[in-house]
Amino acid sequence: MSNEQALTRFSNPAPLGLAGFALTTWLLSMINAGWFTGDAMNMVLAVAMAYGGTAQMIAGVMELPRGNTFGATAFVSYGAFWWSFSLFVLFLHDKVPAAFVGWYLCMWGVFTFYMWLGTLRAARALQLVFLALWITFFLLAAGEWTGMSGLHVAGGYVGLITALFAFYLSAAEIINDAHKRVVLPIGAPGAG
């Protein structure tokens, strides 16, 4: 059996992982952008554990037999991000200095930046997800370090853009696969 035949035996987990990421990012970014207060955080935490965390972890593990190192690394890592974020908010929020939270966000920005570099030969839609995400992390980190609420709000708005890009890519992969043709272009060379 060829590698291509083996890959067709496994469904594409990326739309699941992208949707879990997009929905959770959208909800948190609405709070960061100031659309809702911290009172809405409990819903974010529930979605972060169930969909942003768990569904992305499942998608990442599903990428392993497909031989997709990038997909496995991205989905497992961001699934772990949502779990760690939930644990932090639930149990440690008032016990960690803002400057250290800034470093947490900054290091996620560093990880996301080199993951973005890994997308530069991939579909444009995927590049946009990671571009917007590393900018989001760095804006939120700068907001924690400086205490400037405007940076935090800007991070929220770029996070909303990130979520829209991820939703679009998830939808494109589902719809294009269902129709067996390009309905929603993703910007891949030769793919539309």
Position 10 scores a pLDDT of: 79
Position 190 scores a pLDDT of: 42
Q: In angstroms, what CA-CA distances link 54 with 7, 36, 64?
A: 23, 25, 16
Number of domains the chain contains: 1
Judged by DSSP in three states, 58 sits in: helix
- In the chain, which residues have pLDDT < 50? 190-192
Instruction: Provide the 8-state DSSP code for 186.
Output: -
pLDDT tens, residue by residue, 104-114 = 999 999 999 99
The upper half-sphere exposure of residue 9, i.e. CA atoms within 13 Å in the direction of its Cβ, equals 9
136 lies in some domain: yes
Distance, first Cα to last Cα, the chain: 30
Rg for the chain (alpha carbons), in Å?
A: 17
Cβ-contact 83, 48 below 8 angstroms: yes
For 103, the domain range is 14-174
Q: Which two tokens stand for residue 108?
A: 């996620």
187 lies in some domain: no
Residues shown for the chain: 192
127 lies in some domain: yes
